[in-house]
């Protein structure tokens, strides 16, 4: 199975953190369904050109967070995700995007009122088309 994870080598975010957050997003957004058998540690390491140590750590961490389950001798599966958790995740994803927008505004020295105006304007344009 091919997992659509794209690594940015030029980021200062460690590879481990990039893989973990992307895999988490794929699971919580429902892109990878409950019960899916994930690639073996070696296979995913090969796909992403990273080390098995990193992948093992990601799988172990996500297992501890209850998102993955490992069956001895069979492999690692996506565990059932509760709807509540999924909703929380969706909200958090949007919150994070807005926080990034606020950081960008600060960097560009745009004040609160101006930011709100930009936000409302974009919401008006983008949401109307959908």
Closest among 33, 32, 53, 52 to 44, alpha carbons compared? 52
> Treating both helix axes as pointing N-terminal to C-terminal, what angle do 83-107 and 112-129 enclose, rounded to 10 degrees?
130
Strand (E) or helix (H) holding 77: strand 75-78
- Residue 10 C-beta: closest distance to other proteins, Å: 4
Q: Which is nearer to other proteins, 8 or 130 (CB)?
A: 8
- Residue 41 C-beta: closest distance to other proteins, Å: 8
- Residue 13 C-beta: closest distance to other proteins, Å: 9
Q: Which is nearer to other proteins, 53 or 93 (CB)?
A: 53
Judged on CB neighbours under 10 Å (0-12, 13-18, 19+), 76 is buried
- Residue 24 C-beta: closest distance to other proteins, Å: 18
Q: Which is nearer to other proteins, 54 or 76 (CB)?
A: 54
Please count the other Cβ atoms lying within 10 Å of the Cβ belonging to residue 62.
21
> Site residues (CB under 8 A) for other proteins?
9-12, 14-16, 40-43, 45-46, 49-54, 107
């Amino acid at each position: 199975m091919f997992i659509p994870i794209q690594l940015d080598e030029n980021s200062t975010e460690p590879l481990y953190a990039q893989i973990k957050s992307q895999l988490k997003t794929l699971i919580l957004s429902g892109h990878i369904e409950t019960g899916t058998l994930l690639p073996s540690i070696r296979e995913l390491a090969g796909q992403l050109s990273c080390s098995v140590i990193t992948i093992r750590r990601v799988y172990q961490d996500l297992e501890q967070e209850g998102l993955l389950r490992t069956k001895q001798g069979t492999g690692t599966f996506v565990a059932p995700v509760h709807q509540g958790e999924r909703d929380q995740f969706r909200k958090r994803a949007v919150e994070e995007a807005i926080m990034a927008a606020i950081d960008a505004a600060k960097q560009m020295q745009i004040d609160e009122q101006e930011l709100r105006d930009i936000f409302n304007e974009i919401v008006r344009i983008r949401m109307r088309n959908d």
